[in-house]
Amino acid sequence: MKSILDKAREYEAVNGRKIPSEKRPAFHISPYVGWMNDPNGFSWYKGQYHLFYQYNPYKTQWDSMHWGHVVSKDLLHWEYLPAALAPDEEYDKIGCFSGSAAELPDGQQLLIYTSVDHETLEDGTVRDIQTQSVAVGDGTDYKKYEKNPVLTGQDVPEGGSKVDFRDPKIWKGKDGLFYCVVGNRPSDGSGQILLYSSEDGFQWKFVSILAENKNRYGKMWECPDFFKLDGKYVLLTSPQDMLAEGMEYYSGNGTLCIIGEMDPDTHTLKEENHQSVDYGIDFYAMQTVEAPDGRRIMIGWMQNWDTLSHRCEESKWFAQMSLPRELSVKNGRLYQKPVRELDAIRKNKTEYRNVVVKDKPVMLKGVQGRTIDMELAISPEDKETGYGKFIVCFAQNEKFHTELSFCPEDSVLKLDRKLSGSRRAVVHEKSCLVNRKTDELKLRMILDRYSVEVFVNDGEQVMSMVIFTEQEADGISFQANGKVKMDITKYDLV
């Protein structure tokens, strides 16, 4: 009799190969077949990057979470491996939820994940119970630990929920111990991040409540990540049910970065600054890895729980990951840049300098495409008169386009996909407040077949968004209210 994992592997092997490569993103990770959400187990192991992901191979909706698996040497060309985990034990029969990975001293890879089961209360109500479990393997095949789960509700501090207790992120400390942070909901109904330690990765003990939400930024804090970068400690998490705060945080499920110092005595994060991680529509559940050369690289689920109806219904895959991004901390802010490996696939350079853009749309020879890397530097042609608005239209034909616009008067940058071909009335635009120190605005736009990522002023802010416009729509045009001077460098990504 075939196991649940064997069935999943057999199904994906048959059906994944039926999806033509040209029907997928060119260099963003998509599921081999079926549904994808949170990145899991982003790690460097045996000479390559491993990324696992929340996965339902059988249909393009969330259900019965498995772990999908891909590997890469350059973060751009990914090879599909067989599904790594399936919900096949009593303690995880509802699903193998999000988690992470680390290498054990014996050279094996340890996966730690949230195992979900049901319990029935005295009144007959059925609810989830979330625990943390581990599996050990060789980079392809993994065996679950016979003493799972390794963290349960008994390991949660007083008042903490065992229903909302998930998404462990593991790392090896300089002291030789393993550590992990886990998202949890305390008695006030918001969120908190718990810190645990282990000598071997299997037996864990509670250390501290690393950070507390106290109903400031949304409710439950999901998918935490914690690391030291450029002399500061950084906590990344994805809060549910956020309330809008100007243009820094929008309502819904969002992203949060807290930067500060670590108190070595209490093992708590002393907060200094906070910000969104991504200001676009589609970005959630980010996870990082420390590369062999010391870079901190982040990837996120380039999708939004509130926009799941924005899809191509006939597609046999749904959702994708963001482009991996190099992180740094400067002046109390998180900066993000596309991984430098992207430079190796830049081809066919097209460059213009001092192009004046005004009231009529301008299209430039060689500036078009749906898999491109485009750098823009814009400033007023006349600093005395300035300009009212600058617009870039892309993924454009006579019927469709997506728009990126900037208004210097209020310093607002906006992405708008309402004319991109969607048949659903979902969220179609997002704006962010740009911190400009000069008249010049620098933009770097990475387009893949089904997405755009905009890096603002050398990565001080990022806006991510998926689009499903037909691939034949590959035009790009520029327009302004007033006169804008523009420098542009464009590469095809091959």
Q: Decide if 318 contacts 31 (C-beta within 8 A).
A: yes
CB distance 303 to 284 below 8 Å? yes
Q: For 301-353, give the secondary structure using H, E and C.
A: ECCCHHHCCCCCCCCCEECCECCCEEEEEECCEEEEEECHHHHHHEEEEEEEE
Phi and psi dihedrals of 357, rounded to 5? -110, 135
Residues annotated as catalytic are: 38
- Is residue 37 within 8 Å of residue 303, measured between CB atoms? yes
Tokens of 291: 């590369």
Specify burial of residue 315 (Cβ count, 10 A radius: 0-12, 13-18, 19+): middle
Q: In whole angstroms, give the CA distance from residue 191 to residue 242.
A: 12
**C-alpha distances in Å from residue 140, one per residue of 66, 79, 219:** 14, 12, 36
H-helix or E-strand containing 6?
helix 4-16
φ/ψ of 119, rounded to 5, equals -135, 150
Give kind and range of the element (H or E) at residue 228: strand 221-229
> One-letter amino acid identity for 375?
E
The kind and range of the H/E element at 178 are strand 178-184
